[in-house]
Structure 1
Amino acid sequence: MSSNLLAGIARVAIDGVTRQLEGGAKYSVSTVKREELVGPDGFHGWKETPVAPSISMSLRDAGDMTVADFNAIRNSTIVLELANGKIVTGRNMGATDVQEVDTEDAKFELVFKGPQVTEQTVSVS
């Protein structure tokens, strides 16, 4: 029997260390941005530019870590385990944004980008 759980619960590990997700996580496996090329006479075609796949999240600033360590990340493996059973993995990822901690809720945003983010799906029966 299949589970109807599709969203909500998630886990994240950065270089094998599980971290506390404060809120949701997002990921993009896209490698190109596609834009239409249009002139006064109508549609001409497409323009494609490369983009880096990404994984982003909001983490809790737990007492067992330093936020500065995340700013130094350049070659890490990020693994998201989603409620629906899917595993999302980013390899050779680097932290791209400046991390700023909101002390009221002990949270901060992280954005990782790199050459590849993959999805491992589960079979639904």
Structure 2
Amino acid sequence: MSKRVGGIIFLKVDGDLQRAKGAFSYNLGKPKREAVIGGDGIAHGYKETGQVAFIEGEITDDRKLNLAALLELEDVTVTLELANGKVISLREAWYAGEGTGQSEEGNIGVRFEAPTGEEIK
């Protein structure tokens, strides 16, 4: 039995559907583990470093999109609904992108960051 694992996605900011396009990346913001290698060349264990939770990708620009307002977003809930049925959610998120638009395909890169992320199955 085949199951869909990729394809159509939905990006919402405070419940408002955005015009998502292309591939999106996301991170739940859990600590990253890295090996600690001793002078003897053997892994002695690991260390954890913090990461920020994020959702990042591109949206399509249109007349209705207010880029200045997008750049000022903070304390919003951002959800990314994946083709496999999972939902990635950021609460108390802020816009952390550059706000750069491209004219060829009318795309704007977006990045939202938050203290933590949640995976809803």
Q: TM-score, length-normalised on structure 1?
A: 0.87
Query: Residue 53 of structure 2 aligns with which residue?
Result: 53
Which residue type is aligned with residue 74 of structure 2? R
Partner of 2:10: 11
Identity %: 28
Residue 13 of structure 1, CA deviation: 0.8
CA RMSD in angstroms comes to: 1.6
Q: Say whether the 8 Å CA contact 1:20–1:62 is kept in structure 2.
A: no
Which contiguous aligned blocks of 4+ residues in structure 1 show a shift greater than 3 angstroms? none
Q: Which residue is 1:27 aligned to?
A: 26
Q: Distance in 2 between matches of 1:69 and 1:23?
A: 23
Matched ranges for 1:89-104 at <5 A: 89-104=89-104
**What residue is the counterpart of 1:71 in the other structure?**
71
Deviation at 1:3, TM superposition (A): 6.6
CA shift, 1:83, in A, is 1.3
**1:9 corresponds to which letter in structure 2?**
I
1:99-118 equivalences in 2 (<5 Å):
99-118=99-118
What letter corresponds to residue 105 of structure 1 in structure 2? E
- 1:75 aligns to what SS in structure 2? strand
Q: Note the residue ranges of structure 2 that are not aligned, 5 or more in a row.
A: none
Q: How far apart, CA to CA, are the structure 1 residues paired with 2:2 and 2:107?
A: 31
**In the TM superposition, what whole-angstrom CA distance separates every residue of 1:63-117 from its partner, at most 9, and x where no partner exists?**
1011122211121111111111212211111112311000111101111111121
Match of 2:73, SS state, is coil
Q: Does the 8 A contact of 2:14 with 2:78 survive in 1?
A: yes
Rounded Cα–Cα distance in structure 1 between residues aligned with 2:83 and 2:45: 39
Q: TM-score, normalised by structure 2?
A: 0.89
Q: Secondary structure at the match of 2:102?
A: coil
* Separation in structure 1 between the aligned mates of residue 119 and residue 106 of structure 2, nearest angstrom: 30
Count the aligned residue pairs.
Answer: 120
The one-letter amino acid paired with 2:25 is: K
Tell me if structure 1 keeps the 8 A contact 2:29–2:115. Answer: no
Between stretches 58-67 and 23-32, larger displacement belongs to 23-32
